[in-house]
Amino acid sequence: MNFNAITIRDIAKELNLSVSTVSKALRDSHEISEKTKKLVMEYAREKNYRPNPIAQSLKQGLSKSIGIVVSTIENQFFSQVINGIESVAYKEGYNVIITQTHESYDLEVKNVGHLTHRSIDGLLISLSTETKDIEHLQRLHRQGLPIVFFDRVSNEIDTHKVIADNYRGGYNATKHLIESGFDRIAHITSPPNISITKERLAGYHQALADAGVTLPDNYIKYCPHGGRDISEIENALNELLALDPKPNAIFTTSDRITTTTLFLINKMGIKIPEEIALAGYTNTTLADVLNPPLTSVYQPGFEIGQKATEMLISLITSKRPVTEFQTAVLPTQLFVRKSSIKKS
């Protein structure tokens, strides 16, 4: 299994030392003479010795791995977050174990179970759209498992959290649409129970209010599974297009909803932005090449991952119980492209 099969015992034997001396020497303990340390370290390097991380884990009661729960890594936002997580985790000597909920509450519970049974030192989680009850996490949290929420957070657990500035992302996108001359702005979004939905919606409402625009409630459509099924987006869209007056712009949240909305509008033969403008949350690197180029709210996925991991490791390594928690809010970026610019 470990393909540097040399152990601490081999070194001890070869150097006529005891295992404990070698162990201490390798960890640069002050109770070992410089001479011995040098001897051991050089021999270890020469033989390319690596401590067996499993034995270390067993001894120290730490697994040196971090569990991750996201909806799906195929979503570029999450793959960027994972890149950020790994960049910090690997540097600090942690493994990561990635699991996906595919927006299912049951899968989330199952994954969290698997992760804890596999011995993780901490958990990074973005809740599934279906998740309403978080008892499965509260139990673990009470037992002392360090947890950091990111993206879709819960306020029913008091711990560190990292989110994009969802409120401002929603505000800026909506404001931009208004300033581009669109006054009937619909909103297609994830289910109302998850945090990002509420925050982005609040931004949308405020931007409308600030501009003195009033719109009916049925301009807002929720997708129960966050757009996992194309039909939920299709329904939302059809309902919006049947309204009188019809919206002349749509603000969407989440990669899936945004790109699927674009797909559906194109398929219906409706012209963007002439007949309806579109601006939405997405982290795809293809926004420029879409038809039409898509105005997007971009979240700093990589940085979110980094920050969350730093916070988690600080919880894991903290000597005393942590009682002061913070929520990091990272700015989003609005990229204005053709899909939301009125031709004049």
**Residues at the site binding DNA, with contacts judged by CB under 7 A:** 5, 7-9, 16-21, 23-24, 26-27, 30-33, 35-36, 51-52, 55-56, 58-61
Q: Are 112 and 140 in contact (CB under 8 A)?
A: yes
**Residue 206 binds which entry of a second copy, DNA, none, with Cβ cut-offs from 5 to 8 Å by kind?**
none
Residue 317 near a second copy by CB under 8 A: no
Q: What angle do CA 65, 67, 73 make, to 5 degrees?
A: 125
Residue 133 near a second copy by CB under 8 A: no
Q: Are 336 and 295 in contact (CB under 8 A)?
A: yes
Shortest CB 292 distance to a second copy, Å: 7
Residue 119 near a second copy by CB under 8 A: yes
Size of the site for a second copy (CB under 8 A): 55
Binding part of the chain for a second copy, among 112-120, 126-134, 220-228, 244-252 by CB under 8 A, reads: 112-120
Shortest CB 183 distance to a second copy, Å: 26
Token code pair at residue 266 = 């194109």
Shortest CB 147 distance to a second copy, Å: 11
- Which of 7, 52, 206, 314 touches a second copy (CB under 8 A)? 52
- Which of 13, 28, 58, 158 touches a second copy (CB under 8 A)? 58
Give the count of beta carbons closer than 10 Å to the beta carbon of residue 187. 27
Burial status of residue 93 (CB atoms within 10 A of its CB: 0-12, 13-18, 19 or more): exposed
Dihedral class, residue 290 (left if φ above 0, else alpha if ψ from -120 to 50, else beta): beta
Half-sphere exposure of 12 (CA within 13 A, CB side): 13
Residues 6+ apart with CB under 8 A from 106: none
- Which of 15, 19, 97, 329 touches a second copy (CB under 8 A)? 97
Token code pair at residue 256 = 């899936």
The rounded distance, in Å, linking the Cα atoms of 302 and 305 is 5
Residue 42 near a second copy by CB under 8 A: no
Residue 2 near a second copy by CB under 8 A: yes
Binding part of the chain for a second copy, among 25-33, 48-56, 187-195, 197-205 by CB under 8 A, reads: 48-56
Binding part of the chain for a second copy, among 21-29, 152-160, 176-184, 285-293 by CB under 8 A, reads: 285-293
Specify the DSSP element, H or E, that contains 279.
Answer: strand 277-281
Residue 17 near a second copy by CB under 8 A: no
Give the count of beta carbons closer than 10 Å to the beta carbon of residue 338. 17
Residue 18 near a second copy by CB under 8 A: no
The rounded distance, in Å, linking the Cα atoms of 9 and 265 is 68
**Residue 201 binds which entry of DNA, a second copy, none, with Cβ cut-offs from 5 to 8 Å by kind?**
none
**Residue 23 binds which entry of a second copy, DNA, none, with Cβ cut-offs from 5 to 8 Å by kind?**
DNA
Residue 104 near a second copy by CB under 8 A: no
How would you classify the pairing of strands 333-335 and 295-298?
antiparallel
Token code pair at residue 91 = 């540097």
End-to-end CA distance of the chain: 67
Q: At what angle do helices 195-210 and 166-179 cross, to 10 degrees?
A: 40
Binding part of the chain for a second copy, among 33-41, 49-57, 189-197, 216-224 by CB under 8 A, reads: 49-57
Residue 206 near a second copy by CB under 8 A: no
The residues of the shown chain that bind a second copy, judged by CB under 8 A, are 1-4, 50, 52-55, 57-58, 61-63, 65, 72-74, 76, 79-80, 82-83, 86, 90, 95-100, 114, 116-121, 140, 143-145, 259, 262-263, 266, 284-286, 288-293
